[in-house]
Every structure is written in C-alpha cells, then in structure tokens.
Amino acid sequence: MSLGFHCSLVPRVRFERLSALLIGVILSSCAPSVSVQQSRARIADSRGLPQDLVVAKKELLNGQKIEQQQPLLGLGHDLAAASAAAAELRNHPNESQARDFYNFAVARSVENIQRAEIQPWHRPVRIPGRDGEYVLRSRTPSDREHDPSNYSFLPTDTLKVSGKFFGTRSIAQGVGAPLVAIGRDKVADYRTRYGTKRLYAAITAVVTFRGHHAEIEFIERLSSDRISIDGRTYPLAGDFTAPIALAVIRERPYQFAHSEFIHPEKYRDAARLIRLQPFDRRRTPVIFVHGLESSPTNWAPMINTLLSDPDIRRRYQFWVFSYPTGFPYPYSALQLRHELDGISRAFPDHKRVVVVGHSLGGMVTRLMVTDAGDKIWRAFFGSSPAQTPLPSRTRDSLKELLVFNHRPDIKRAIFITTPHRGTHVASSWIGRIRSHLVKTPGFLVDMRTSVFASSNVNPIALRLNRIPTSIDTLAPDDPFVLEASRIPISPEIPYHSILADRGRGGGTKSSDGVVGYWSAHLEGAQSEFIAPSNHSAQKNPEAIAEVRRILRGSD
C-alpha cells in the first residue's frame, strides 16, 4: 500500500493544513534555544582569609539568615561586609578574593534594598548595622530614564543561562556587582528614540564608603569600563549575556515572525531600527538585518559573542533592523532607508554605519550599497521615470522602490549566506507553497492596478500577473533579482562575504542547503570566508569569529 498522495486528490483544507504544518516544522528549528534559571547566590568556599574578609564572610552569612524576614537588618550586614571587603581591596587591589567578596556583598545589598522597598536615590536612608548605623544614599537621578525607581535589578550571579544561543557567557572581570536592570513599564516614546519597548540593560552596581556613609551607584556597563574607588582605578565588572537572554525569554521578540511573514501589511508600521544600548557618537553603529521569516532574536549568539571582546565594545554599538519579511525585498529596503533617515535626524552626529545582513537581510543590505540610479526602472518600463506615463502618486511610489543609489552613511557591508542571484528553493514546490501563504498587501495591489491602467509596461517583464512576495523576489529568474545582480556594489563601500558549506566539498562547490556558491559569491569582496555550517551561519562560531575579525580590522 502506497503512503504517498496526489495533490489533486487531497481536499483544499487538508492541503492548507499541511502547508501550515510544514511552515510550523520549519519555524520550530528557528525557535530560540535559551534557558534562564534563577537561584540563590552562595558564598564561595574559601580558607586562609585575611581578617577583613573573615569579617566580610561572617557578616554575609548573618545577613542571609535574616534577609527574607528582616531585609533592612540584612542590608546592614551586607554593607558591613562590603565595607570590610573594600578595606581589603584598598590594601591589596589585585587580590581576587577581596574583589569577589566585595562584588558578592554589593549584589546582596541591591537585593535587600529592593526587599526593604527603600529608595536611597531619593533621600538618605539610615540602616542599622552591627558596628553602628550606616547612612545609605545615591546620587539624585538626572531624569526619569536614570531613576532607579523605574527598574527592578537582578544580580547576575543568581542567574544561570544555558542553551544553544548562549554557548559561552560574555562577562568582564572586575569590581562591582553585575546586574540586569529591567524597566518596570514599557517605554512610552521608544519608537522616536529608536529604543526597545522595555529596557534590559547590563548595569554594574558599586558602593563606596566614607566611614559609615555609603553611596551606591548604578553604572551602564556598555558606556563605562572602569571605576575609581578610594583613589584607585579598577576594571568594572560586567555581564553582557544575562540581559540579552532575559529579554529573549520575557519579551519573545520572535513570536510574530511567522505572522509578519504571512500578513506583512498588518505589521507594515512595525518595521524599525532598534538600538540595543545607549547611543554614543564615539562608537560606530553596527546594524544587523535578519533573514526570511526570522527576527532580531537570531542575532543573539553573534551579539553575545562580539560583546565579549573589549575592543569591539569600545569601538562599536549594536543596532538591529526588525521588519515583516513577507514584502518583496525592494520594499523592505525602502523601509530600511526611511529608518536610516530617521536615525540621522535623531542622532545627527552618529558615525557611518556597518550593515550586516543574513540571507534575505543580505539582499536588503545589497540595495543599501548599490548605485542603481534608474537602470532597474528603465529595464522594466523602457523609459525614464519622467517619460513613463503614470499618475504622479504611483510614479513617486515606484521611484522610491526602483530608483536608488548607495547610502553615504554606510561605511562597510558584510553579507552572510546571501542569495545575490537568487535561490532555487524559492522556485521549488515548497517555495511556491510558502509564497501563496502570504497575504497580498492592498497598497501594492493598488499600485499594480494603476501601472497597468496607465502604462505600456510589459507584464512579463514586471511579472505583475500577481504581486510578488519576498520569496518570489528570491527566485533566480525574478526580474528584479536579475537586474539588481548585474549592478556592481558602489566602489566607495568595502564589503565582505561569508558563505557556508554543509559538506559539499568547499570552494566553488559550496552550498549551505539553501544558497549555493554560484549565488553567494561576489567579485570584488575584500574577503570571502566559507564557514562549515547550514544556512543559519549567523549563529555559527566560525562565521561569528570572521565578523569579529572584520570589525577589529576596520578603521
């Protein structure tokens, strides 16, 4: 008995369910692999401690016994421990035990400040201690964004992060208690400020002492890397993995990736550039552009690894472009251009950017660095925009899509497994199924109607018997792909290619299972690297190392 089936014999409803199931299986392989578990931090076993650290350990143990029921008294013990450890650190600044006890005591202090629901950043608070009362204060916040009242703080020594997305933990050794600052409320103006809806930031807490006067300070770790205590300068501790992992777990930025692919018009206004850290005009923005039916979440492994490099942290700031991937990719490129214009208005002093695009995101990136002028327009219409008989509104809309030059605000591009000449998967049966799942945007239908009503355009040339989806515009014989691939990248912008091979023999035989060497290879690239990977090379350690090499070697 045959277990196969003929499509003509399968009811339409079953075929649609099969398609949806197939998409679900594909998407399940893209779901983020990350776990965050919280537990109580424990004092490390240690022997032969100097006297100040003996005192610190005793105070910490006493504090942990009572902190749940009497957090204010527990805080007194924590401050006494931090003070004793700070004294030892002052006398022996290179002693790791003194540093570790100090960091542990500061982390426990932050926990008990929250348990006791006190706010030393608004007024000094008196804290009972074994050897006398402490007066705890903090600098008055300059604005709402820097007001600790608006955040909850999680010491990262209580968080265990695991999963394929975070094979290594990116940390910086130093003084201070690494924390995750989590915004209590969603940011009201996050769109205009190009920020995240809710803040998850790498913060480091430091407590300094003048006798029994203690001052706590929260430092944004990606903005500062050193701290001065008692006249000495120390590296500032930091944990860069925990904030990313918590944001992925709690906010689930990947949850709409499939819906944005199927219903792109519904999410049209969701396309935006997002900065992942405070803007710094001294640092070069690196913008990551994700691929088809994906989300910025899939850049987490790369961003996490890059943040482990002090040189990268010092020179670069990370952004992502999130966009619905069901649109034909020239429209996604138009959305990115608008967003780049927006950040130039919001941050007029920003440095020229580096754009890193994966797969479809690489195709979008390609249009940012190409001097097409009106070549593509002429190929489709046979005349210049001014000579093409179209209503002005339609002409203006089409010019935005088809007439463009390289962005002068881009200094470098990195393409990862990008199908510059298309991919046969897009024209295969699975590609056709996925393409037909996409709901055609109404404004593109209106544009098509206006074109054919007003112009002598060749419908075969434009393939406008129906509006193309992103998958259609990835096919090797797609007119836009064919025309765009003939136009070289601007000589003013250096670019790099990262390809992948999943065992086809390397070199010109390489294929990642979706994109072959014939499509991903670019003449004129400053470097070409083939990673041993499937199509998701943006998560491959060797490909990530290549991006790191490129960034470190760039001016």
Based on its alpha-carbon atoms, the radius of gyration of the chain, rounded to whole angstroms, reads 28
Tell me the whole-structure pTM to 2 decimals: 0.91
Q: pLDDT tier at 270 (50, 70, 90 boundaries)?
A: very high
Per-residue pLDDT, averaged over 453-469, amounts to 59
- The pLDDT, as a whole number, for residue 31 is 53
Q: pLDDT tier at 532 (50, 70, 90 boundaries)?
A: very high
- The pLDDT, as a whole number, for residue 19 is 40
Residue 428 scores a pLDDT above 80: no
Report yes or no: 521 and 511 within 8 Å, Cβ to Cβ. Answer: no
Selected residue with higher pLDDT from 359 and 477: 359
- The pLDDT, as a whole number, for residue 167 is 86
Residue 23 scores a pLDDT above 60: no
**Separation of alpha carbons 64 and 41, rounded Å:** 10
Reference 92, options 55, 154, 50; nearest CA is 50
Q: pLDDT tier at 466 (50, 70, 90 boundaries)?
A: low
Per-residue pLDDT, averaged over 459-465, amounts to 49
Selected residue with higher pLDDT from 10 and 468: 468
Report yes or no: 319 and 167 within 8 Å, Cβ to Cβ. Answer: no
- The pLDDT, as a whole number, for residue 537 is 97
- The pLDDT, as a whole number, for residue 460 is 45
Q: pLDDT tier at 455 (50, 70, 90 boundaries)?
A: low
- The pLDDT, as a whole number, for residue 21 is 35
Residue 138 scores a pLDDT above 80: yes
Average pLDDT of every residue of the chain: 89
Residue 199 scores a pLDDT above 80: yes
- Lowest average pLDDT, out of 110-114, 153-157, 383-387, goes to 383-387
